[in-house]
Amino acid sequence: MTYDLTADFAALEHSLSGVFGLFEVAEEEIEKAQKRHGEPVGERGPIWNTFRHLKPGFLADSEMLYRAHCVELLDRVAEGRDLRPPTRPEMIAALARASKSAPLTSAAAGLYIELFEEVFPAESREAFSEHPNMAADYRRVHGQQMDDHREWLRGTLLQADRGEGK
């Protein structure tokens, strides 16, 4: 019996190209953040040193979410804020994954829409052009439950290994 390594190498190559693509996204966002926050580009300041905290985790399937995740963490570093709480893109991804197992409750769907509007305002205006006040309407009816879900996600998705960002 012979074993054909071609398929294994193709799978490995595909996997590695995705990983290296995410490295490039992280490096691009670090450079943008350095410019945005006045840290000399390429110098080993706090923003530059954040690369190790920009792990994609379950965001690896979406460059859009991963990029927004990087931006949020890099801004936290620049502002001296805690890196451990989940980013809004991480919460969006968690809700999206949950929706694949079972339909989201109305409050969870409202939170998903609200988070999407916070992170991607231009895209949400386009996506919800037929109903521009969708998140506000959900908030009026399910506001407390949405807040409870957000707090639960913050606790559940806490990333202790990311450190305090200081």
Q: What's the number of CA atoms in the CB half-sphere (13 Å) around residue 6?
A: 2
Q: How many residues does the chain have?
A: 166
Coil, strand or helix: which one is 156?
A: helix
Find, among 121, 70, 73, 69, the residue nearest to 94 by Cα.
69
Task: Tell me the pLDDT of the chain (166 aa) as tens digits.
Answer: 555 656 554 554 444 445 557 889 999 999 999 999 999 998 889 999 999 999 998 888 899 999 999 999 999 999 999 999 999 999 999 999 999 999 999 999 999 999 999 999 999 999 888 998 999 999 999 999 999 999 999 999 999 988 765 5
H helices of the chain, in order, are 6-37, 63-79, 88-101, 106-119, 121-127, 134-156
pLDDT recorded at residue 58: 85
Alpha-carbon distance of 38 to 30, in angstroms, equals 12
Q: List pLDDT tens digits, range 80-120.
A: 999 999 999 999 999 999 999 999 999 999 999 999 999 99
pLDDT recorded at residue 12: 43
Amino acid code (one letter) for 53: H
